[in-house]
Amino acid sequence: MSRSLNKVMLIGNVGNEPDIRSTSSGTQVAKVSLATNRQWKDGSGQQKEKTEWHRLTFFGRLVDIVDQWVKKGDRLYVEGRIEYSETENDGQKKYWTDVVVTEMVMLGSTGGGSGSGSGESYQSDPSPAPAPPISEPDDDLPF
């Protein structure tokens, strides 16, 4: 069976204050929008810019970090995966594209936010504890 990959990496600015909710099963979820910008020159040499908005969804311990530290205007680096969903309201279907964030680095604040700019990395799933360092024996080895 061949492998596949669903990975997204974004650097952008948070567009709204985090929305923290709980699912029916009690799982906490945080959602924010993230703006990324692209600049280019058109055929006539005019500078153009386009902003793309991304819906970010956080689970696990990232929810607490987002709730406590992430503010509108903060600059983030996120890694995650794309998920598609749909909802129906009054017979109208809406389709959603979300980036489910698995890792986040706070890069700082560009607006009203309070990002520390520390570059601290946060992951949704705790990583295994690092192995203890291997101490080298005092004797001389033949290699």
For residue 113, the model assigns a pLDDT of 47
Mean of pLDDT over the chain: 83
> Is residue 133 within 8 Å of residue 34, measured between CB atoms?
no
Quote the CA–CA distance of 70 and 93 in Å, as a whole number. 31
Architecture of domain 8-38+49-123: Beta Barrel (2.40)
Look up tokens 């504890």; give the residue.
129
Reported as a pLDDT band with limits 50, 70 and 90, residue 96 is: very high
For residue 118, the model assigns a pLDDT of 56
Quick: pLDDT tens for 9-52: 999 999 999 999 998 899 999 999 999 999 999 999 999 999 99
Quote the CA–CA distance of 97 and 58 in Å, as a whole number. 14
Q: Structural domain boundaries of the chain?
A: 8-38+49-123
Residue 139 CB partners (closer than 8 Å, separation 6+) = none
Average pLDDT for residues 76-88, to the nearest whole number? 95
